[in-house]
Amino acid sequence: MKTLGVVVLAAVGLVCACVGGVAVLAAVLVATPAVACAVTPLDDVTSIETPTGTFNQEQIANAAIIVAVGIEMNVPVRGHIIAVATAIQESRLINLTTAYDHDSLGLFQQRPSQGWGTPEQVTDPRYASRKFYEKLLTIDGWESMPLTEAAQKVQRSAYPDAYAKHEPAASTLVSAVSNGSVSCTNYAGWVQPVIAPVWSGFRTAERPAHQGVDLGSPRNTPVKAASAGLVVWAGCDTSRWYHCERDGSPNTPGCGWYVDIKHPGDIYTRYCHLNEAPFVRVGDEVMAGTVIGRSGTTGHSSGPHLHFEVHLGDQSSKTATDPVKFMAEHGAPLGRQG
């Protein structure tokens, strides 16, 4: 099976594109963003079905690049959907390096003669995506516009109504890559462990002993370290190993498979109910965004989700603090939807 992956190394301004095992390096002359995103293939995914068509690995990877650049530029998810829909219409998410319509090139069919950049620039998916977003962000009220109107204000196409039909497909692709192939590091230090809604809050009236929050991530969603640190626990929380080798229930005790990470300043984070044994071991050093496991429903759990805790001082229940408040204060608010 031929796979395609792209890894963005923002700190040194390089992009590595790997197609069928052949690596290609190209310089990207951009400043290091406050957030940098890596794009890797979705495990075992060769195509994605959407309401209006099927997209292959090359197209999925290009959609992921568009989303990654949007996250780096702090563009809301609505903008990611507009950008991906536009690229579907303009190029079917194929980076076209030969001009078939005047001098239009790349994912967005941007024209060097119209000031979008050089031919080399507009056929760089990251550059092209960035230029699209830069123009979109100058449009007053774009977030509340119909998709086709916002896209047309950027593209000035001869077919201004053509973008609308791609919104369902774009929404599906953005959701898929946001929850799988795009992994972002916040240079302020913190990232969301999963992109999912908050299902159950911290120490609510109904659950006063709930020492964290439940994030509604589907089974097998990659779980990421929320910040750099040292793994101090990775395993099953009970000596009765079989409690972690199968799905849990409301009658099963504990966290199931889980990980504890110690961060600078004696801050600890906990990630519970992983689907299988964690991907990290005690003593491993992790970075913000390192995938440490996959969400599941082991332990005291009624269905797949991630239980996430933050502790200030040690790992005991008395030091638990509200993860929603803590993560918002550290630039990585929980609950954003893909």
pLDDT in tens, 153-165: 999 887 878 899 9
| Domain CATH number, residue 267 | 2.70.70.10
Kindly state whether residues 169 and 237 are assigned to the same domain: no
Kindly state whether residues 43 and 104 are assigned to the same domain: yes
In a domain, 94, yes or no: yes
- Is the model's pLDDT at 32 over the cut of 50? no
The pLDDT assigned to 336 comes to: 61
- Is the model's pLDDT at 1 over the cut of 50? no
**Residues spanned by the domain of 268:** 198-329
Kindly state whether residues 153 and 263 are assigned to the same domain: no
In the structure encoding, which two tokens stand for residue 223, read together? 């779980």
pLDDT in tens, 122-132: 999 999 999 99
Kindly state whether residues 182 and 203 are assigned to the same domain: no
Kindly state whether residues 106 and 211 are assigned to the same domain: no
In a domain, 193, yes or no: no
Kindly state whether residues 99 and 12 are assigned to the same domain: yes
In a domain, 66, yes or no: yes
Among 186, 214, 231, the domain boundary falls at: 186
What share of the chain in percent tops pLDDT 70?
A: 85
**How many C-beta atoms surround the C-beta of residue 161 within 10 A?**
11
The pLDDT assigned to 144 comes to: 92
Among 166, 186, 206, the domain boundary falls at: 186
In the chain, how many domains are there?
A: 2
The pLDDT assigned to 15 comes to: 32
In a domain, 118, yes or no: yes
Kindly state whether residues 300 and 235 are assigned to the same domain: yes
Helix (H, G, I), strand (E, B) or coil at 118: coil
- Is the model's pLDDT at 67 over the cut of 80? yes
Among 186, 219, 238, the domain boundary falls at: 186
Which segment of 15-24, 80-89, 103-112, 247-256 scores lowest on mean pLDDT? 15-24
The pLDDT assigned to 87 comes to: 97
In a domain, 334, yes or no: no
Structure-derived torsion over alpha carbons of residues 244, 40, 289, 92, reported in degrees to the nearest 10: -110
- Is the model's pLDDT at 33 over the cut of 70? no
- Is the model's pLDDT at 13 over the cut of 50? no
CA–CA dist 241, 275 (Å, integer) = 14
The pLDDT assigned to 6 comes to: 33
pLDDT in tens, 199-243: 988 988 888 889 899 999 999 899 999 998 899 999 998 655 566
The pLDDT assigned to 30 comes to: 32
Which segment of 43-47, 48-52, 275-279 scores lowest on mean pLDDT? 43-47
Kindly state whether residues 140 and 228 are assigned to the same domain: no
Kindly state whether residues 126 and 251 are assigned to the same domain: no
Kindly state whether residues 105 and 228 are assigned to the same domain: no
pTM of the model: 0.52
CA–CA dist 244, 168 (Å, integer) = 38
In a domain, 337, yes or no: no
- C-beta separation of 279 from 292 below 8 A: yes
Q: How confident is the model at residue 173 (pLDDT cuts 50, 70, 90)?
A: very high
Kindly state whether residues 182 and 207 are assigned to the same domain: no
Q: How far apart are the first and last CA of the chain?
A: 28
In a domain, 138, yes or no: yes
Kindly state whether residues 212 and 177 are assigned to the same domain: no
In a domain, 191, yes or no: no
